Amino acid sequence: MISQSKNPLIKDLVNRLRDIRITPKEFRHNLKLLAQLLCMEACSFSLTKKSIPTWIGQKEFSFIEQENIVVVAILRAALPMQEGLLELFPYARGGFLAMKRDETTFEAKLYYTRLPDIEGKNIIIVDPMVATGGSLKSALDILAAKKPASITTLHIVGVKEGLEYTNANHPNAHIHIAQIDAYLNEQKYIIPGLGDAGDRAFHT
């Protein structure tokens, strides 16, 4: 399933990212905020009752099972998004899939993997950009094979073709995006997009 945010606050934050005058620090900060807002829109969590000590004695309240959440970042540009979600869920686990798009073939090449146990867990994949969809589809191939309970993916800007390609290969994943942009140029960059998100986040 593919869903796109309609929230004006999210739209405003995305459009602030398009301004090339913002600093890498501001760019990373907005990615972090957007990840938190997108998660609020798209991630469905069940609540479990736990007994905790309060000022009026031991009482039961409902909490999210954070230990069952795995936030997987597709390096590099997703790192601030992952940080934003791990601030919301301090007991969630983090995973890393490092991929780099070959700039001539546009294929995603995996160069590093570090994942905790995925089976039965609620996976949140973060990556700001979905262009051809190659990186996201490859990440889903790896994670879906490990039998998670659910997969939600959160993105800032993408195009229809990349999102539909990924969804066709992984219809059980919930792909949620802040903004679907117009098209890919000849270099497979999103137009209007953000430019190279990794370079802008890390000033390279």
Residue numbers at the binding site for ligand PRP (CB under 6 A): 74-77, 99-101, 106, 108, 127-135, 162, 188, 196-198
List 129, 143, 154, 177, residue binding ligand URA (CB under 6 A): 129
Give bridge partners of residue 177 from the DSSP assignment: 4, 155
Query: What tokens does 111 get?
Result: 């160069």
Q: Pick one of ligand PRP, ligand URA, none as the site partner of residue 189 (Cβ within 5 to 8 A by kind).
A: ligand URA
Q: Which is nearer to ligand PRP, 130 or 151 (CB)?
A: 130
- By CB under 6 A, residue 107 contacts ligand URA: no
Cβ(130)–Cβ(74) under 8 Å? no
In degrees rounded to 5, what are phi and psi of residue 178? Answer: -70, -40
What one-character DSSP code corresponds to residue 173?
S
Number of other residues whose CB lies within 10 A of the CB of residue 164: 13
- By CB under 6 A, residue 99 contacts ligand URA: no
Give the pairing type, strands 108-114 and 122-126.
unpaired
**Whole-number minimum distance, CB 128 to ligand URA, in Å?**
7
**Whole-number minimum distance, CB 73 to ligand PRP, in Å?**
10
List 10, 125, 197, 201, residue binding ligand URA (CB under 6 A): 197
**Whole-number minimum distance, CB 120 to ligand URA, in Å?**
32
- By CB under 6 A, residue 131 contacts ligand URA: yes
In degrees rounded to 5, what are phi and psi of residue 84? Answer: -60, -40
- Burial class from Cβ neighbours inside 10 Å (0-12, 13-18, 19+) for residue 122 reads buried
53 CB-side CA count, 13 A:
0
Q: Pick one of ligand PRP, ligand URA, none as the site partner of residue 95 (Cβ within 5 to 8 A by kind).
A: none
**Whole-number minimum distance, CB 187 to ligand URA, in Å?**
8
Residue 133 CA to its chain's centroid (Å): 13
Q: Pick one of ligand URA, ligand PRP, none as the site partner of residue 134 (Cβ within 5 to 8 A by kind).
A: ligand PRP
Give the binding site for ligand URA (CB under 6 A): 129, 131, 189-190, 193, 196-198
